[in-house]
Homo-oligomer: A and B are copies of this chain.
Amino acid sequence: MDWTTIDACRTSTELPRPVEIRGWIRTRRDSKGGFSFLEVNDGTSLGNLQVVAPAELENYAEEIQKLTAGCSVVVQGELVESPAKGQATELHANSVRVIGRCDGETYPLQKKRHSFEKLREWSHLRARTNTLGAVMRVRNRISQSIHRFFDDEGFNYLHTPIITASDCEGAGEMFRVTTLNLEKLAGSNRPFDTKQDFFQKPTHLTVSGQLEAETYATALSRVYTFGPTFRAENSNTSRHLAEFWMVEPEAAFYDLHDNMQLAERFLKRVFSDCLSHCGEDMEFFNERIEKGKIDQLKSVIEKPFEHMTYTDAVERLLACDEKFEYPVEWGTDLQAEHERYLTSVVGGPVILTDYPSSIKPFYMRVSDDGKTVAAMDVLVPGVGEIIGGSQREERLDVLQRRMAEGGLDESEYWWYVDLRRYGTVPHAGFGLGLERAVQYVTGMANIRDVIPFPRTPGNAEF
């Protein structure tokens, strides 16, 4: 490869020098002075590189003056310091080779600004727009940062199964996975036989890799998953997807305190990496999507997270003057409006802990009071819960009692229970929804705009 990315051209200080760039036209403007200005983008940065194409070029009238948004070009020339405001460099073209044309009549991304909703119909093209391009670069940076953080902390990246016969939380609708022919099945009047299916038993798409991650945490000490998870819920909201990516660290010998510290270090590292690696994109979000986002993230990075027990949170909610739609009562789940209130009075992230055991899953460790579990939720302003986690129940007898209370069949979880039989250890972990994190960092309002190809009820095009 002997071409240079536009990002590298725009920030180059080694000037002047000959370069070749390869990208797509964003705009063309013909000057009366006998040249055209081409704004070229290759997705390596939000901003374009300005190409100055003189009329002397042999294909000037034939091709260059016909360039429209979306055309692909290869440009060779001299990269020089730009006299214009708002750009450090520009490219004086010796040749502009047109690679692919783009019909201005039918190209969806022409001229006018489109709503995010409209852009979703063109998921195959929308990353060519400023906002979606920036979102996807930030999403990449967050993902890279996640891997580097856990690698640095000695966690092993673990691939837990996507197709599973178990159900992590006994909650959440699941997608069925099958090789049976549904069309034929519907037409037959034979009784259903699960033994005929690929796995010879009912299987579903995972809702969480946590239980499997616990098995590896008791072998390798520290592991994390980072993979797709699924909910077959008929929710058409701006906060829900049927398919989304989740990060789930799990660490042996961690208690709730270690877990909270890990979550705080983790989020701060991710936010820092976005600010330091995606400066231009973050400026864009700060100006166009959510004013003040950069200062907000900086303040989150600098200050220790506030901690609050669920019981204290309930007291604060009961004592405040706010009118809530849902009543607040100890022993019921907090609603989004309650979480919003708490993050707004705190003025930043808050970690809620020690929830009632009655509203939390069987695997969370029961505290000495017998009423609460060692759970933690990290709430952030705007998005609400971004992380949910807990210390896990490591005592065999308590776990068995909780499973029985929850109506779970212990024989289906024999391998999970085994971990408490053979060298059990205190351990803890949490889950971060990647899309929620991207939303928080970018300020994007709809979760469908922070994942490349969103999956929601009725939507699986592409």
**Residues of chain A having any CB pair with chain B under 8 Å:** 1, 3, 5, 22-25, 42-44, 70-72, 74, 99-103, 106-107, 123-125, 127-128, 133, 136-137, 139-140, 143-144, 147, 151, 154, 156-166, 173, 175-180, 182-183, 185-192, 198-203, 205, 212, 215-216, 218-221, 227-228, 230, 232, 234, 242-243, 245, 252-254, 258, 261, 394, 415-416, 418-426, 451-453, 455, 457-462
User: Do residues B252 and A22 form an inter-chain contact, with CB atoms below 8 A?
Assistant: yes
Give A102 to B418 CA distance when docked, in angstroms.
10
Which residues in B have their C-beta under 8 angstroms from that of A227?
Answer: 227-228
User: Do residues B453 and A22 form an inter-chain contact, with CB atoms below 8 A?
Assistant: no
Give A192 to B455 CA distance when docked, in angstroms.
23
For this chain, the copies found in one complex come to: 2
Which residues in B have their C-beta under 8 angstroms from that of A457?
Answer: 198-199
User: Do residues B198 and A192 form an inter-chain contact, with CB atoms below 8 A?
Assistant: no
Give min CB distance, A437 to chain B, whole Å: 13
User: Do residues B423 and A24 form an inter-chain contact, with CB atoms below 8 A?
Assistant: yes
Give A100 to B254 CA distance when docked, in angstroms.
15
User: Do residues B99 and A426 form an inter-chain contact, with CB atoms below 8 A?
Assistant: yes
User: Do residues A157 and B144 form an inter-chain contact, with CB atoms below 8 A?
Assistant: yes
User: Do residues B125 and A422 form an inter-chain contact, with CB atoms below 8 A?
Assistant: yes
Give min CB distance, A139 to chain B, whole Å: 8
User: Do residues A23 and B156 form an inter-chain contact, with CB atoms below 8 A?
Assistant: no
Give A388 to B104 CA distance when docked, in angstroms.
36
Give A314 to B70 CA distance when docked, in angstroms.
43
Give min CB distance, A266 to chain B, whole Å: 14
Which residues in B have their C-beta under 8 angstroms from that of A166?
Answer: 462
Give min CB distance, A419 to chain B, whole Å: 7
User: Do residues A253 and B162 form an inter-chain contact, with CB atoms below 8 A?
Assistant: no
Asked if A221 meets B44 with Cβ closer than 8 Å, knowing A124-B215, A159-B452, the reply is: yes
Asked if A462 meets B252 with Cβ closer than 8 Å, knowing A178-B178, A220-B137, the reply is: no
Give A153 to B125 CA distance when docked, in angstroms.
23
